[in-house]
Structure 1
Amino acid sequence: MSARVVVLDYGSGNVHSALRALERVGAQVSLTSDATEALGCDGLFVPGVGNFHACMRGLREADGPRIIDRRLAGGRPVLGVCVGMQVLFEGSSEPSTGLPVEGLGEWPGTVDRLVADVVPHMGWSKVVVGEGSSLFSGVEDERFYFVHSYAAQRWTLHPEGSFAVVAPVVTWATHGNEFVAAVENGPLSATQLHPEKSGDAGAHLLESWVGSL
């Protein structure tokens, strides 16, 4: 039976490419903000585009923090993408214009503006895959699509603070400076890159996640 995946609908941009990509790798996919469906599905996909703080406001209005926290407490998989990854940290230095400044705090640290000659980082980049990665197994040497101006640039979570029995797997990329491109932490995974826009390599990554549900 195909895995049931909910793409959390909280007003974050165009999610149709994510829906199509997940369907292509065999998932039964729905876009909804319904808490019962989001809690009961096999995998929860948290998208995110644009401003960190606007995404946090939308998540709070859709009860996203409680949904994500309850899923993780029960060991139920969650995948965050782009700003959907950034919100998992404690906060962001992106200008807030009065919007919520705190993230979900699932991981310590803040999201900061990239230090590079050209920002945003937009285009295809290689990644340095963390040892033992499941998401990137078989596509370690491929390029993935990024579009972002902010990222987590440090990783400070100790193994005993994670959701996993083993230490989290952290994958890195570089645009001006090094930043976290993906994390695999027990039931909680996230990518700064866009797998749904990364061609065959991104499809392989999504297929690996859906296959693990």
Structure 2
Amino acid sequence: MGIAIVDYGLGNLHSVSKAIERLGGESTITGDPEEILAADGVLLPGVGAFGDAMEHLRSSGLDAVMRQAAASGQPLLGICLGMQLLFDEGEEHGTHRGLGLLPGRVVRFKGGTYKVPHMGWNRLEFLQPESPLLRGLAEGHVYFVHSYHALAERPGDLIAVTDYEQPVTAIVGHGNVFGMQFHPEKSGQLGKQLLDNFLKLVREPRS
């Protein structure tokens, strides 16, 4: 059934759906656990606050569905806040437990000498050009809007970073679980190519 775009009450669902459609992919916006687990791949979008998002996921039981999807081997991609939710915890408006699919925590930019939120186009630096998400791509600029950033515990989970007065986690991945801090659907040609590579990964037969 293509990509299940998880609807848990927070997220820019339709712009992501349209971006997938433009790439020739199929997607369904759904909060139904059976549909999500039957999909070829799962996309977890998100805008807003970490704690609110986790509360929405928990109250609907979709937090367990996300963990089940990840354990099943389904390719799973978190976008923006959706990427942050993959980690163990976030400190936005207090400390909140995340999905725990990737070890690490999400912290606020300290600011002072630079503006918060981090908003605008920043260049990606590829740390793992062999990653299936980066296959055939060249480093370029993508569009960020965020006040919090992820600190991954495992250096091997960092696929790409950007520089915003410090190295900032931009793309993460471990096994079949991936995340992008920026908005690929708003990131021009490179964003389009990154989403297309995720679609190609979803289409690959799973062992």
**Normalization by structure 2: what TM-score?**
0.90
- Identify the residue that residue 134 of structure 2 maps to in structure 1: 136
1:199 to 157, 168, 188: 188
Q: Give the gaps of 5 or more residues in structure 1.
A: 159-166
- Give the CA deviation at 1:65: 1.5
Give SS of 1:70's match: helix
- Give the CA deviation at 1:133: 2.2
Quick one: distance in 2 between partners of 1:46 and 1:62?
A: 14
Q: Tell me, yes or no, if the aligned pair for 2:102 and 2:174 is still in contact at 8 Å.
A: no
Provide Cα deviations, 1:7-49, integer angstroms capped at 9, x if missing partner. 0000113321101001111111110101000000001000011
- Give the CA deviation at 1:67: 1.1
- Identify the residue that residue 205 of structure 2 maps to in structure 1: none
2:100 to 102, 105, 117: 105
- Give the CA deviation at 1:170: 2.4
Q: Give the gaps of 5 or more residues in structure 2.
A: 203-207
- Identify the residue that residue 145 of structure 1 maps to in structure 2: 143
**Normalization by structure 1: what TM-score?**
0.88
Whether 1:120 and 2:117 are equivalent positions in the alignment is yes
Provide Cα deviations, 1:97-129, integer angstroms capped at 9, x if missing partner. xxx811111122210111331000111100111
Quick one: distance in 1 between partners of 2:70 and 2:11?
A: 24
Q: Tell me, yes or no, if the aligned pair for 2:12 and 2:46 is still in contact at 8 Å.
A: no
Quick one: distance in 2 between partners of 1:62 and 1:27?
A: 27
Quick one: distance in 2 between partners of 1:148 and 1:110?
A: 15
Whether 1:156 and 2:145 are equivalent positions in the alignment is no
Quick one: distance in 2 between partners of 1:89 and 1:203?
A: 25
Whether 1:212 and 2:201 are equivalent positions in the alignment is yes
Q: Which protein is richer in strand relative to its size?
A: 2
Quick one: distance in 2 between partners of 1:14 and 1:170?
A: 24
Quick one: distance in 1 between partners of 2:91 and 2:166?
A: 17
Quick one: distance in 2 between partners of 1:184 and 1:130?
A: 11
- Identify the residue that residue 89 of structure 1 maps to in structure 2: 87
- Give the CA deviation at 1:169: 4.9
- Identify the residue that residue 58 of structure 2 maps to in structure 1: 60
- Identify the residue that residue 71 of structure 2 maps to in structure 1: 73
Deviation >4 Å, runs of 4+: none
Q: Letter of the aligned partner of 2:18 in structure 1?
A: R
Q: Tell me, yes or no, if the aligned pair for 1:6 and 1:30 is still in contact at 8 Å.
A: yes
Quick one: distance in 1 between partners of 2:158 and 2:138?
A: 13
